[in-house]
Amino acid sequence: MKILMVLTSHDQLGDTGKKTGFWLEEFAAPYYVFKDAGADVTLTSPKGGQPPIDPSSDTDNAQTDATKRFKSDAAAQKDLANTAVLSGVSADGFDAIFYPGGHGPLWDLAEDSDSKALIESFAASDRPIGAVCHAPAVFKHPLGTDGKPLVSGKTVTGFTNSEEEGAGLTKVVPFLVEDMLKANGAKYEKGADWASFVVTDGKLVTGQNPASSEAAAHKLLSLI
């Protein structure tokens, strides 16, 4: 069982002068769900190498069991520091693809042609695709085999407008995940802000927020 995890390389939070990146919990929890199930996990990012960790996800009050495990796991840290360059990664041989969130993907992965091609390849071959929190931003451009947006007519979730407002970043982000998914014809659903909420439609798994990352990973595994 081989799973591809795609992380952001973008570290600038708009024009605020603050840093962003991927959300540590949204990487760590799925990574260990996959590893503990015996999966061979390959990490990739647009620029390769060490992807940026959102500083807000690495504070004392943001730590979870999974992030604490990662902090004491030298092998996992080495994996993360050496992600493959996305443009050189093929969908061939992988059983599923998973995107951790954080605000970074809104800027790079949402517009990345290599990511788009990977998602379209996984969808065309009916292999599981997972994305959590801000990572459903990656469904902005991919198309289904019918030529419509991949999420058109599909039930999905992702970071809510009210959660973005709660984070104080509504006017900073390039677009709102909830609004984009709806504009692409998705049937958008959401749970309570900041609570775990995961939606599955066929082989497409989406989680609403950081609290949803572990459940989304388990759901993705169950589809392989």
Beta-sheet pairing, 2-6 with 96-99: parallel
Residue 63 · residue 26 · CB < 8 Å = no
**Structural tokens at position 13:** 């939070």
Residue 179 · residue 159 · CB < 8 Å = no
Q: What is the DSSP letter of 79?
A: H
**What is the number of structural domains in the chain?**
1
pLDDT at 109: 98
Please calculate the CA angle 91-95-96 and round it to the nearest 5 degrees: 80
Q: Where residue 94 sits, what CATH number does that domain have?
A: 3.40.50.880
- Alpha carbons 173 and 165: distance in angstroms, whole number: 11
Q: Which regions in the chain score pLDDT beneath 70?
A: none
Backbone angles phi, psi at 50, to 5 degrees: -80, 115
Residues facing 187 on adjacent strands: 155
| Contacts with 72 (C-beta within 8 Å, 6 or more apart), sequence order | none
pLDDT at 154: 98
pTM given for the model: 0.97
Torsion of CA 209, 222, 22, 103, to 10 degrees: -40
Q: Which domain holds residue 134?
A: 2-222
